[in-house]
Amino acid sequence: MAELKNLKGIDEKDRKMLEDAEKLLGPEPATMGFIKNLVWGRIRQELVFPYPQPPADEKARCDAILSRLDPYLTNEHPASIIDQEQEIPDWVIKKLFELGVLGMTIPAEFGGGGLGITSYNRVLERIGQTCGSTAVLVSAHQSIGCKALMLFGTEDQKKRWLPRLANDWVSAFCLSEPNVGCDAGGQETRCELSEDGQYYILNGEKKWSTSAAISSLLTVMCKQKISDPATGKVSERVTALVCTPDMPGIEIFEKNRTKCGIRGTWQARLRFTNVKVPRDHLLHKEGKGLNVALSCLNYGRCTLSAGMLGGARTAYEQATKWAQTRYQFGRPLADFELIREKIARMSAWMYAMESMLYMTTGMLDRHDEDIPVETAVCKVFCSEMGMRCVDDAVQIMAGEGYMTENDVERIFRDSRINSIVEGANEVMRAYIFGYGGKQLAEKLLGVQEAVGWDTEAGPVPNAMRAVKRLFKPGVAKAAVGIGGEVFLGMRRKAPDFNGAITSVLQPHATRLGKLIQQHSHAFVIASKHYGEKIVSRQAVQGRLADSIIFIHAYACTLSRLDQQIRNAESGDKFESERAAANYFMDMAEQQVHDSLYRVFNHKDESMETAAAAALKYMDTQPNSKYYIHESSPNAKGTGRKPRTQGLKQFPGEKNPSNNG
């Protein structure tokens, strides 16, 4: 990004946030992905057309797993018992290993199924249709637990641990801490090399570690002091270590807590006290732990979306059947337009969620270079549209939808977590805006600095500077394009798809091109309008991020429908999907227009006034009336104690052995 010291009008907190974000983002890939090009007003159509498909032989192997899994989930899986008793029984985990589900992505040479990401997510979607808790267990084991080892482990490490992880060991990924959530780089757990160089001495605490209490292998993120060999400068960076729970000094002091949804999953709290971790348990390289964590999150965000898609599908189908068979005022609910609107909306969201999910997994399977923004968009879109779908389903079923004996109620509770975990959606929107538009923002700031108007200088110095710098190598070329938009209000031509789309869908392609043009222009004008202060205008960032999200969803939907038409699909199911796709693209277009309108036409001033007044009032209220975060830097220990009477407790143990 442009030199932070040159940015004007931002406070030190925002400057520090930018510096931390730069460290997290790392170097840019040489080739920008679909969404980053979208922000520039360009289309890399080869990244989304044709719609990605897994190889036929892999699809057949995945179908075989699903054919074994479906009868088990339909007839045997104790989803309600898992929810009510807040535990996934050992026999269920053993069954999932036997079915090949818990080892399906591990390479065959290490005893796994060797399936790709699309196949894996198809299985997660099916599990999500039946049990959200089980979907999370399977996802945490393979998307972040095993995946870290598969991506970054040495051959010796893979030979040592992957065969057990494919057949009888559950794994966990220990990233979050009492004071660390979305701020993945803020680890307070630390390690240092022992004097003899044989061990890392690990100290700290972890929170929200899914399945850690039943896991036999833990991937632990921790800070380490790293010396730069070139300069000798010492800095703290994140390192990833592989631990086993029986190592002396590891304490699982809380196995789980009673929670709203995904109640069968266990999120442990762990304490590490002078744990001696052998040096050959280092994963990847010292100081490269964030690389490990952020790479794994790309996979976890997809499997979260797959589980959400599965739950939403069950809710959508159940609610639609209910609307056809539940009568009020002598007519089925499906006769009423407000109910029909919900049914149409759910069907549209379902089609778009599925389209985006398997577009994203296709990108992962073919190892696209630049996909973090795409996985973040997938996570935000599926978690929010999925939750809206489930909410509509509960509304259609009314009182019965609220009853625990009906699956929709459990799906409703299980779904709420998805906009929180794997990066809270508020943080993801800032990420989508910031990382998705990073390169364009750099170019804009460069042009602005070269030929723009400095409000802190007078008219003569501005004019002299602009004329002088306009003819610098590279500046003139940039100024003709981006500068024309910034200073003259010119718009670049809307991109087209050069025959990539079947003719019957060409009107949709034209609309998509115009949306991309409008978004890119709005991004440029917003950068001029708000200047450097845009880095702290998160409400504005969120609206631009929403525009990106729905344009990308439009593109994924169009690509999938294009493939179905080219494949000559027909019948009632296809006609239902075609109508759902068309309706979604209409809704997405409207959403993009609304989001871009509100970039400049909003009520943020009165919002800020209301927020400030509410915060000022709450400052007058005693902390003792409210729950306060356990690690609060300004109020720790001053709040109300949580009431745990009547809630199931999950006490921990020191040095547990889960090594089978």
Q: Could you give the residue numbers annotated as active site?
A: 422
Read off the tokens for 350: 């379902």
- Contact between 419 and 387 (Cβ < 8 Å): yes
Q: Contact, 221 vs 190, CB < 8 A?
A: no
By DSSP bridging, strand 282-283 and strand 267-278 are unpaired
Cβ neighbourhood burial of 313 (10 Å; 0-12, 13-18, 19+):
buried
Residue listed under structure tokens 């520039």: 40
Which tokens in the block code for residue 170? 């559950």
* Tokens representing residue 367 in the block: 């190892």
Using a CB cutoff of 8 Å and minimum separation of 24, what contacts does 500-509 make? 500/45, 500/49, 500/50, 501/49, 501/558, 501/562, 502/562, 502/565, 502/566, 504/565, 505/558, 505/561, 505/562, 505/565, 508/558, 508/582, 508/585, 509/558
- Name 190's bridge partners: 203, 223
Helix count and strand count (H, E) for the chain:
22, 11
Helix residue spans in 402-470 (DSSP H): 407-415, 425-436, 438-451, 459-470
Spatial neighbors of 176 by CB under 8 A, at least 6 apart, are 206, 207, 208, 209
Cα separation, 240 vs 465, in Å, equals 49
Is 341:388 a contact under the CB 8 Å cutoff? Answer: no
| Whole-number Å distance between alpha carbons of 255 and 251 | 10
* Tokens of residue 446, six digits: 């460069």
DSSP helix/strand/coil, 53: coil
Question: Which segments of 85-229 are extended strands (E)?
Answer: 171-174, 190-193, 199-210, 217-227
How many residues belong to the chain?
660
Residue 395 CA: distances (Å) to CA of 3, 129, 317, 389: 51, 19, 14, 10
**What is the C-alpha separation between 566 and 561, in angstroms, rounded?**
9
Dist CA 305 CA 350 (whole Å): 12
Q: Dihedral angle at the C-alpha atoms of 313, 504, 500, 376, nearest 10 degrees?
A: -30
Radius of gyration (C-alpha) of the chain in whole angstroms: 26
User: How far is it, in rounded angstroms, from Cα 160 to Cα 156?
Assistant: 6
